[in-house]
Structure 1
Amino acid sequence: MRVAELSKRTGVAVPTIKYYLREGLLPPGELTSPNQARYGDEHVRRLKLVRALIDVGGLSIAAVRDVLETMADSDESMYEVLGTVQRNLGADLSAGDGEAYEKASRIAYELIERREWQVKTGAPQLEVLTAALATLVELQGEDLLELLDAYAEASERIAEVDIDYTRRGDGRAGAVERMVIGTVVGDAILSALRRLAHENEAARRLRSG
């Protein structure tokens, strides 16, 4: 297909497609003339993945490139690919300081130890958790800390489902793509489901009050 048809099939504007090609987010098409190229279904699939990473995951162009390069590296393990995705999904946070941050860091590490989670020291999402907990401490919302283990238990079950989903992929390439999509899009789905569940539970239990 020509670039115009690729645009029509994916809903991505032609100038944007050309920009992604220049940035290396899409593989080049098959040249049919000096100024024309032909694209296939693999370009449709890749373009949809790129849009998901940007639109749903909120990743920058540089972050998308990092994820795609890791996906393409056959020497990278599934564990390492997941680490790259998690790193790029993490908020851009620097290490905090102060009493609230120190307390939050202690709470986070105690949770990891208590749950016997295998997490690397300095993992990006651990920093995100610590920063969020520090905010909670500063806002005097420490009662919510009592829910941490319940949240962690629910997250463990979700992680099991996620990994099972990933392992259904056809070969390494299919499994890696499932992991990336499941992680990025799954975050958005979980956030939406939580809010819908809140609405349902509030209607069921709080409306009469």
Structure 2
Amino acid sequence: MRLSELSKKSGVSTATIKYYLREGLLPPGERISANQADYHTDHLHRLRLVRALIHVGRIPVARAREVLASMDEDQPGTEDRVGAAIEALPYEPVNGSDGDAFVVRAQGTVAALLAQEGWAAGARSSGNHPAYQMLVDAVATLARLGYPCDVPHLTPYAARAAELAVHDLNVIQALDSPEERVEAAVALTVLYEPLLLALRRLAGVEECRRRYNSA
């Protein structure tokens, strides 16, 4: 298909598609003349994924490029590629320096939680894992505001996260190819986060109704 057809099928303007091509988010089409290229269904699929990362996942273009590069990397095995793709998902720290008292205490809490759960990812990365930093920031912010955030309070959240990880990996492993599994790892992580947030809020409203306004 030509660029105009790719634009029509995807709902993305030709100018934006050209921008994605320049930024390396979308692989180039097959050149058929000096100023024309042919695009395939793979381009349409990747374009939809790019839009999801940027507009649903709120990932900046430069970081989206890193995530897509990690997906395309030739890793020794599927497990390595899936893990690398998830680890590449970005997070911009929002708290102060590592010397901040709340951050220091949060790092200790997170280390204790990870050790309790037997999760090696955060400890192995020595704090460089984006999700590890996200968790430290969240715990530090809760502490600043005086909300409970010690290990016993966080344990039920970790348990439910572990259950969700099992479900995600079951979905991923059911896919046919390594490429599909790696892409699904990113898609499930990025696109299900707003779904989980929405369900949590709806459940909160329902629980409030049940407890306080059951009549």
TM-score by length of 1: 0.90
Paired residues for 1:88-99 under 5 Å: 88-93=89-94, 95-99=97-101
SS, match of residue 31 in structure 2: strand
Percentage of pairs with the same residue: 37
Contact 1:67–1:81 (CA<8 Å) still a contact in 2?
no
Contact 1:10–1:44 (CA<8 Å) still a contact in 2?
yes
Instruction: Choose from 140, 147, 159 the match for 2:165.
Output: 159
Structure 2 equivalent of residue 202 of structure 1: 208
CA distance in 2, matches of 1:201, 1:83: 37
Matched, 1:26 2:26: yes
Contact 2:75–2:81 (CA<8 Å) still a contact in 1?
no
Paired residues for 1:73-92 under 5 Å: 73-75=73-75, 77=77, 78-92=79-93
Instruction: Choose from 153, 156, 178 the match for 2:184.
Output: 178
Shift of 1:86: 3.3
Shift of 1:81: 4.4
Q: 1:193 to 1:157 in 2, by over 3 A?
A: same
Q: 1:110 to 1:28 in 2, by over 3 A?
A: same
Contact 1:169–1:176 (CA<8 Å) still a contact in 2?
no
Shift of 1:143: 6.5
Counterpart code for 1:163: L
Structure 2 equivalent of residue 104 of structure 1: 106
Deviates more, 1:136-145 or 1:115-124: 136-145
Structure 2 equivalent of residue 124 of structure 1: 130
Structure 2 equivalent of residue 138 of structure 1: 144
Shift of 1:9: 0.9
Shift of 1:154: 0.6
Contact 2:102–2:144 (CA<8 Å) still a contact in 1?
yes
Instruction: String of CA shifts for 1:94-150, please: whole Å, max 9, x gaps.
Output: 643232222211111111111111222212211211111111111111278653111
Counterpart code for 1:139: L
Structure 2 equivalent of residue 54 of structure 1: 54
Contact 1:30–1:39 (CA<8 Å) still a contact in 2?
yes
Contact 1:96–1:131 (CA<8 Å) still a contact in 2?
no
CA distance in 2, matches of 1:140, 1:45: 45
Shift of 1:173: 0.7
Deviates more, 1:150-159 or 1:74-83: 74-83
Counterpart code for 1:86: E
* Structure 1 gap segments, 5+ residues each: none
Instruction: String of CA shifts for 1:75-99, please: whole Å, max 9, x gaps.
Output: 2543354344334332335643232
Q: 1:201 to 1:174 in 2, by over 3 A?
A: same
Q: 1:27 to 1:87 in 2, by over 3 A?
A: closer
Runs of 4+ more than 6 Å apart: none
CA distance in 2, matches of 1:56, 1:165: 21
Contact 1:50–1:64 (CA<8 Å) still a contact in 2?
yes
Q: 1:10 to 1:156 in 2, by over 3 A?
A: same
Instruction: Give the total of aligned pairs.
Output: 209
